[in-house]
Amino acid sequence: MRIQVIGVDHRTAPLAALATLSDGEGLSRVLMARQADVAGAVLLSTCNRFELICDTDDSLEPGRLRERVCELARELAPDVDERALSGLRADVGDAAVQHVFEVAAGMRAAVIGDKQVAGQLRRAYELASERGQCTGRLHRLCHDALTS
């Protein structure tokens, strides 16, 4: 198993394009239901970012997960702006973990150091946990990132 983050933010897509992804709350549940090699997922969706933090089988290639997220976004939000999808990046393993820590610390915020992002990540983590979407690895990652 490994951590993968598929995400787009204010640096890689216009805010108007990101807004077309903001209604993606069901995406993580649908992804887990249809993609057996995704064991858990936390979706952080705000006006400045759309980050899907996943615990996946080692065999799931980042490019394939990114493609699947794009397909589901188009299916669940037919009016999605393609600029948001083209800005999606894939981080895997240590790079994905580092990315989550940087997001939690506000290092990837529009205003560096913004603490609001940590609160948004906490709510996303709590929601995923309530829905049974968190693996032990995701619990540890989110807890450690939020308490560092």
| CATH label of the domain that carries residue 32 | 3.30.460.30
CB 7 within 8 A of CB 50: yes
Among residues 47, 54, 70, 142, the one annotated as catalytic is 47
For range 44-70, the mean pLDDT: 93
**What is the extent of the structural domain holding 112?**
2-147
Return the minimum-mean-pLDDT range out of 60-64, 95-99, 120-124, 141-145: 60-64
If pLDDT is split at 50, 70 and 90, which confidence band does 32 have? confident
If pLDDT is split at 50, 70 and 90, which confidence band does 46 have? confident
CA distances from 137 to 6, 54, 144 (A): 17, 10, 11
For range 106-124, the mean pLDDT: 83
Return the minimum-mean-pLDDT range out of 21-35, 41-55, 56-70, 113-127: 21-35
pTM, rounded to two decimals: 0.92
> Looking at residue 70, what is its pLDDT?
94
Instruction: Give the span between the Cα atoms of 68 and 34, in whole angstroms.
Output: 10
Annotation marks residue 142 as catalytic: no
> Looking at residue 22, what is its pLDDT?
64
> Looking at residue 114, what is its pLDDT?
77
Phi, psi dihedral angles at 103 (to 5 degrees): -65, -50
Count how many domains the chain has.
1
